[in-house]
Structure 1
Amino acid sequence: MKLVLPVFAVVSVLYIAVFGARIVPDLVAAMLGASIYTYVSYYVLVRELPFSKPFTEAQQGSWWMIPLMLGLFVLPAVHIVVSLVSSVGVYAYVAVLLVVNAGLWVRRGGEGNERTVPVTGRSAL
C-alpha cells in the first residue's frame, strides 16, 4: 500500500477538484476495494517477489490469474449497482468493505500467522 496510497491520493485530489465532495464516498469505497483485492491476490498468487524469476519460469501455474482478473470486475460492479440502487448504497457498501477489510487484515492468532506484520511496524526478529 506504500506505493499505491500516494498515487491514489493525487488522483483523489484531482477527482475531488473535478466532481466535488460528493465523490469522496466513492473514493473511499475504491480504496477499500483495492485493499481487499491486494490481500486476496497476495494469498492466491505465488508468494514470491514480483520479477524475481525468469519470465518462462514465472509463467508456470499462471492459470490462477484468470479467475483473479475476473474477480477484479466484481468489486467495481457491486459498487456501481449499489450506487445506482440507492442514495445511501455507497455508504452501506463502504461499511461492508470496512468490516471485510477488518476481518482480513486484523492480526489473527493460530497457524499461518507467521506472515502477519506486527502492528508496531517493527521487525518480529
Structure 2
Amino acid sequence: MNIIYNEKENTIDIKDGLKSQYFMIKALMILNLLNAALNVSYISESGIGFMQIIWLILGLVSIVVLYFFIFKKSSQEKIDTKTIVSLTEKKVFGAKRLSLQLTNGKHRDLAYLKSSEEIIKVKKMLSKLGISA
C-alpha cells in the first residue's frame, strides 16, 4: 500500500486497489438483487414458498450492503486534505484498522497497512498535515 502526500495539489494519493474491489462488490450485489427480484417475482399457485422467502431475505441484505458501499464508504485514490475530518482507528479481531473520515460523511478505509511501522508512519504524516486522530 502506498500513501503519498502530494504537496503541489495538497492531496493524499492512496494506491491500494480498493476501488476495483468495491466495484466488484457493488456489481455482485446488483446481480444478486436482480436474481432475487426474478426469483421473488415467480409465485406459484400454492403461494409464497420457502425459496421465495430466502430470496427476499437475500435481496434485502443486498440492498443494505449496496447502501453501505454507495453512501458510507469511499474508494477515492486522490483525497484533498481539506476534505479529511479525522483519522479513525478501530480494533477488529485484535488488529488495528485505520480509516479516514471525510467531510461528506463517508469513510475511506486504509485496509492494507500490514505492520505497526506503516501505521505509525501514516499517523505521523497525517498529524503533520493537521489531521487529528
Alignment TM-score, normalising by the size of structure 1: 0.27
Alignment TM-score, normalising by the size of structure 2: 0.25
Identify the structure with bigger relative contact order (alpha carbons < 8 Å, sequence gap 6+).
Answer: 1
Query: Which is helix-richer, 1 or 2?
Result: 1
